[in-house]
Amino acid sequence: MRFLSELREGLGIAWNAILANKLRSVLTTLGIVIGIVTVTLMGTAIAGFRASFLTAIAAFGTDVFHVQRFSWFFESEQDWRDASKRQQITFVQVEELARQLTLSESVAPVAQIGLSVGYADRNSSGVQVLGSTDQYLKTSGSVIARGRFFSGAESSGGRPVCVIGANVASNLFQTLPPLGEAIRVGDKPFSVVGVLEKQGGAFGDMGADDIVIIPLEQFRYQFWSNPDLNVQVKVGSLERMDEAKEELRGVFRRIRGVRPSEADDFSINQQDQFLDAFNRVLAIIGSVGLFITGLSLFVGGIGIMNIMFVSVTERTREIGIRKAIGAKRRAILAQFLTEAAVICLIGGLMGLAISFPISLALQSRLGGAMPLSVVALAILVSLVTGLASGFFPAWRAARMDPVEALRSE
Amino acid sequence: MGRKLHAEAPDPRRNLTSPDVSLILIDKLARRYVMGSETVHALRGVDLRIERGEYAAIMGPSGSGKSTLMNLIGCLDTPSSGTYRLNGIDVGEMDDNELADIRNREIGFVFQTFNLLARSTALHNVELPLIYAGVSFDERRDRAVEALEHVGLSDRMRHKPNELSGGQRQRVAIARALVTRPSIILADEPTGNLDSKTGHEILALFDELSTKGNTIIVVTHEEDVARRARRIIRILDGLVESDEQAKVQEQPAMTRV
Ligand SMILES: Nc1ncnc2c1ncn2[C@@H]1O[C@H](COP(=O)(O)OP(=O)(O)OP(=O)(O)O)[C@@H](O)[C@H]1O
Ligand SMILES: [Mg+2]
Residue A107's alpha-carbon distances to A212, A392, B4, in angstroms, are: 19, 63, 110
Per-residue model confidence (pLDDT) at position B15: 38
The closest residue, in CA terms, to atom 11 on ligand 1 is B42
Atom of ligand 1 nearest to the CA of B68: 18
SS3 A199: coil
Domain containing residue A95 = 63-103+238-269
DSSP B191-257: TTTS-HHHHHHHHHHHHHHHHTT-EEEEE-S-HHHHHHSSEEEEEETTEEEEEEES-SS-PPPS---
Q: How far is A338 from chain B (nearest CA, A)?
A: 16
The CA-to-CA distance between both ends of chain B, in Å, stands at 31
How far is A234 from A221, CA to CA, in rounded Å?
27
Residue of chain A whose alpha carbon sits nearest to that of B137 = A5
Atom of ligand 1 nearest to the CA of A403: 1
Interchain contact, B97 vs A325, CB within 8 Å: no
Interchain contact, B116 vs A321, CB within 8 Å: yes
Please indicate whether residue B67, judged by its CB atom, sits closer than 6 Å to ligand 1: yes
pLDDT > 90 fraction of chain B, expressed in percent and rounded: 77
HEC letters along A21-55: CHHHHHHHHHHHHHHHHHHHHHHHHHHHHHHHHHH
CB A152 within 8 A of CB A137: no
How far is B207 from B210, CA to CA, in rounded Å?
5
Q: Is B2 exposed, middle or buried (0-12, 13-18, 19+ CB in 10 A)?
A: middle
Residues 6+ apart with CB under 8 A from A293: A35, A38, A39, A41, A42
CB A228 within 8 A of CB A93: no
Per-residue model confidence (pLDDT) at position B2: 39
Q: What is the largest CA-CA distance in chain B?
A: 54
Per-residue model confidence (pLDDT) at position A60: 65
pLDDT-based confidence at B3, cuts 50/70/90? Answer: very low
Please indicate whether residue B64, judged by its CB atom, sits closer than 6 Å to ligand 1: yes
- The domain total for chain A is 3
Most A-contacting residue of B115, B121, B162, B176 (CB-CB within 10 A), to test interface: B115
Asked if A124 and A143 sit in the same domain, the reply is yes
Asked if A83 and A169 sit in the same domain, the reply is no
Asked if A398 and A327 sit in the same domain, the reply is yes
Asked if A261 and A374 sit in the same domain, the reply is no
Interchain contact, B131 vs A16, CB within 8 Å: no
Which residues, in sequence order, are bridge partners of residue A267? A68
Residue of chain A whose alpha carbon sits nearest to that of B97 = A328
Question: Using one digit for the tens of pLDDT, what is the confidence trace for B130-169?
Answer: 999 989 999 999 999 999 999 999 999 999 999 999 999 9
The CA-to-CA distance between both ends of chain A, in Å, stands at 34
SS3 A127: strand
Distance B1 CA to ligand 2 centre (A): 27
Atom of ligand 1 nearest to the CA of B70: 18
Q: Summarize the confidence of residues B20-48 as an average pLDDT.
A: 93
Domain boundary among A207, A234, A261: A234
**Cβ neighbours, 10 Å, residue A79:** 14
Most B-contacting residue of A7, A13, A325 (CB-CB within 10 A), to test interface: A325
Q: Summarize the confidence of residues B190-217 as an average pLDDT.
A: 92
DSSP state of A60: I
How far is B225 from B191, CA to CA, in rounded Å?
9
Domain boundary among A177, A212, A234: A234
Residue A348's alpha-carbon distances to A42, A83, A386, in angstroms, are: 15, 58, 10
Residue type present at position A48: G
Asked if A306 and A380 sit in the same domain, the reply is yes
Considering Cα of A319, then A324, then A326, then A329, what sign does the dihedral take?
A: positive
Asked if A115 and A215 sit in the same domain, the reply is yes
Closest-CA residue to B71 (of A400, A402, A328): A402
| Better-predicted residue by pLDDT, B116 or A15 | B116
Closest-CA residue to A354 (of A39, A21, A15, A25): A39
Q: How far is A353 from chain B (nearest CA, A)?
A: 31
Residue of chain B whose alpha carbon sits nearest to that of A19 = B119
pLDDT greater than 80 at residue B248: no
Residue of chain B whose alpha carbon sits nearest to that of A2 = B134
Q: How far is A336 from chain B (nearest CA, A)?
A: 15
User: Nearest ligand, CA of residue B59?
Assistant: 1
CB pairs under 8 A between A and B: 70
DSSP chain B: --EE--TT---GGGGGTSSS--SEEEEEEEEEEEETTEEEEEEEEEEEEE-TT-EEEEE--TTSSHHHHHHHHTTSS--SEEEEEETTEEGGG--HHHHHHHHHHHEEEE-TT----TTS-HHHHHHHHHHHHT--HHHHHHHHHHHHHHTT-TT-TT--GGGS-HHHHHHHHHHHHHTT--SEEEEESTTTTS-HHHHHHHHHHHHHHHHTT-EEEEE-S-HHHHHHSSEEEEEETTEEEEEEES-SS-PPPS---
Asked if A153 and A203 sit in the same domain, the reply is yes
Asked if A134 and A158 sit in the same domain, the reply is yes
Per-residue model confidence (pLDDT) at position A23: 87
Question: What is the complex's ipTM, to 2 decimals?
Answer: 0.88
Interchain contact, B74 vs A324, CB within 8 Å: yes
Asked if A316 and A403 sit in the same domain, the reply is yes
Per-residue model confidence (pLDDT) at position A69: 87
Atom of ligand 1 nearest to the CA of B69: 18
pLDDT > 70 fraction of chain B, expressed in percent and rounded: 88
Interchain contact, B76 vs A5, CB within 8 Å: no
Residues of B with a Cβ under 8 Å from any A Cβ are 71, 74, 76-77, 96-97, 100-101, 103-105, 109, 111, 115-117, 119-120, 128-129, 131-137, 140, 176, 180
Residue among B100, B134, B135 whose CB faces A323 most closely: B100
Asked if A284 and A388 sit in the same domain, the reply is yes
Distance B65 CA to ligand 1 centre (A): 6
How far is A229 from A231, CA to CA, in rounded Å?
6
Please indicate whether residue B33, judged by its CB atom, sits closer than 6 Å to ligand 1: yes
By residue count, chain B amounts to 257
Asked if A151 and A124 sit in the same domain, the reply is yes
Residues 6+ apart with CB under 8 A from A12: none
How far is A225 from A93, CA to CA, in rounded Å?
15
Per-residue model confidence (pLDDT) at position B6: 40
Please indicate whether residue B248, judged by its CB atom, sits closer than 6 Å to ligand 1: no
Distance B66 CA to ligand 1 centre (A): 8
User: Nearest ligand, CA of residue B34?
Assistant: 1
Please indicate whether residue B65, judged by its CB atom, sits closer than 6 Å to ligand 1: yes
Domain boundary among A217, A248, A269: A269
Per-residue model confidence (pLDDT) at position A58: 64
What is the full per-residue pLDDT of chain A (409 aa) written as tens digits?
Answer: 577 777 888 888 888 888 888 888 888 899 999 999 999 998 888 888 877 777 666 666 778 899 988 887 766 777 778 878 888 899 899 999 999 999 888 999 999 999 999 998 888 888 999 999 999 998 888 889 999 999 999 998 889 999 999 889 988 998 889 999 999 998 899 999 999 988 765 444 556 788 999 999 999 999 988 888 999 999 887 778 889 999 999 999 999 999 988 888 898 888 776 677 777 888 898 899 889 888 989 999 999 999 999 999 999 999 999 999 999 999 999 999 999 999 999 999 999 999 999 988 888 777 778 888 889 989 999 999 999 999 999 999 999 999 999 998 7
Per-residue model confidence (pLDDT) at position A57: 67
Contacts of B104 in chain A (CB under 8 A): 325-326
Asked if A374 and A394 sit in the same domain, the reply is yes
Residues 6+ apart with CB under 8 A from B193: B112, B113, B114, B166, B170
Interchain contact, B180 vs A327, CB within 8 Å: no
Per-residue model confidence (pLDDT) at position A59: 62
Please indicate whether residue B42, judged by its CB atom, sits closer than 6 Å to ligand 1: yes
Please indicate whether residue B234, judged by its CB atom, sits closer than 6 Å to ligand 1: no
